[in-house]
């Protein structure tokens, strides 16, 4: 009877521990698969001078990536202004970060339009556009939500898009998301924490 009970307990323990292990493993792999390694990826886009810029060209520096479009009425200009202010506050540390603004509206955001737009915020920000296929690829890699809405009158349209800043490491891997509804001070503080070994 005693042995029976200990056998039952042992079997129970194996089942419980096995269950916990399976759940933990699944959570870990989902976390690693979805949240970390799967964000970002290779891209080939065009900068304000009409030159091709790939993700590999920006390796060695952290990359702060934001997706939006120049006709955006509010969120994009607010975010880019905060980004420019944060970079300003970071001083020399900002040299270790490549700030990148990628359009989700390539048909209106030509290289020239992107160039003039980002220049109004900061000479540091690299504005990138591309073919619709190139933009679709990069927005998928970064899991950006994009939806165009055409207005009834005229040919104007707005583009809904998710608003997240992505900090990528010097090796191109995703490090962390940053909120966009913050002040330049808050954003600078977050960046200092995330850019390891930062010195200014
Ligand atoms: Ni926007």
Q: Which of 64, 67, 44 lies closest to 54, judged by CA?
A: 44
| CA–CA dist 176, 194 (Å, integer) | 8
Total domains, the chain: 1
- Tokens 């880019």 correspond to 80
Cα atoms in the Cβ-side hemisphere of radius 13 Å centred on 3: 0
| Ligand 1 mean position, distance from CA 109 (Å) | 13
| Ligand 1 mean position, distance from CA 34 (Å) | 24
Please give the pLDDT value at position 151.
74
Please give the pLDDT value at position 101.
98
**What pLDDT digit, counting tens, does each position of 110-149 carry?**
999 999 999 999 999 999 999 999 999 999 999 999 998 8
Contacts of 195 (CB under 8 A, 6+ apart): 62, 93, 96, 97
| CA–CA dist 113, 7 (Å, integer) | 74
| Cβ proximity of 64 and 165 under 8 Å | yes
pLDDT tens-place values along the chain, 200 residues long: 455 555 555 545 544 444 444 444 344 444 444 555 689 999 999 999 999 999 999 999 999 999 999 999 999 999 999 999 999 999 999 999 999 999 999 999 999 999 999 999 999 999 999 999 999 999 999 999 999 888 766 678 999 999 999 999 999 999 999 999 999 999 999 999 999 754 44
Please give the pLDDT value at position 170.
96
| Ligand 1 mean position, distance from CA 78 (Å) | 9
Please give the pLDDT value at position 193.
94
Please give the pLDDT value at position 31.
46
| Ligand 1 mean position, distance from CA 104 (Å) | 9
Q: Print the domain residue range for 20.
A: 2-199
> Which residues are close to ligand 1, an ion, with C-beta < 5 A?
68, 72, 75-76
| Ligand 1 mean position, distance from CA 32 (Å) | 29
pTM, 2 dp: 0.80
| Ligand 1 mean position, distance from CA 151 (Å) | 17
Cα torsion 143, 62, 174, 178 to 10°: value is -70
**What pLDDT digit, counting tens, does each position of 76-93 carry?**
999 999 999 999 999 999
| Ligand 1 mean position, distance from CA 128 (Å) | 15
Contacts of 146 (CB under 8 A, 6+ apart): 67, 104, 139, 159, 160, 161, 162
Domain at 62, CATH number? 3.40.30.10
What's the burial of 90, exposed, middle or buried (CB within 10 Å: 0-12/13-18/19+)?
buried
Please give the pLDDT value at position 10.
55
Please give the pLDDT value at position 150.
81
């Amino acid at each position: 009877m005693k042995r029976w009970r200990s056998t039952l307990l042992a079997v129970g323990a194996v089942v419980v521990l096995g269950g916990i292990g399976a759940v933990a493993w699944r959570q870990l792999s989902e976390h690693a698969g979805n949240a970390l390694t799967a964000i970002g990826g290779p891209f080939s886009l065009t900068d304000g001078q009409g030159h091709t810029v790939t993700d590999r060209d920006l390796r060695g520096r952290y990359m702060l990536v934001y997706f939006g479009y120049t006709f955006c009425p509010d969120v994009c200009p607010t975010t880019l202004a905060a980004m420019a202010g944060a970079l300003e506050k970071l001083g020399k540390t900002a040299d270790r970060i490549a700030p990148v603004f990628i359009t989700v509206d390539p048909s209106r955001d030509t290289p020239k339009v992107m160039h003039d737009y980002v220049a109004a915020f900061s000479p540091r920000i690299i504005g990138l556009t591309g073919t619709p296929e190139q933009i679709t690829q990069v927005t998928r890699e970064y899991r950006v939500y994009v939806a165009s809405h055409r207005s009834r009158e005229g040919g104007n349209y707005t583009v809904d898009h998710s608003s997240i800043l992505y900090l990528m490491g010097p090796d191109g891997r995703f490090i962390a998301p940053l909120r966009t509804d913050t002040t330049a001070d808050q954003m600078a503080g977050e960046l200092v924490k995330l850019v390891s070994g930062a010195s200014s």
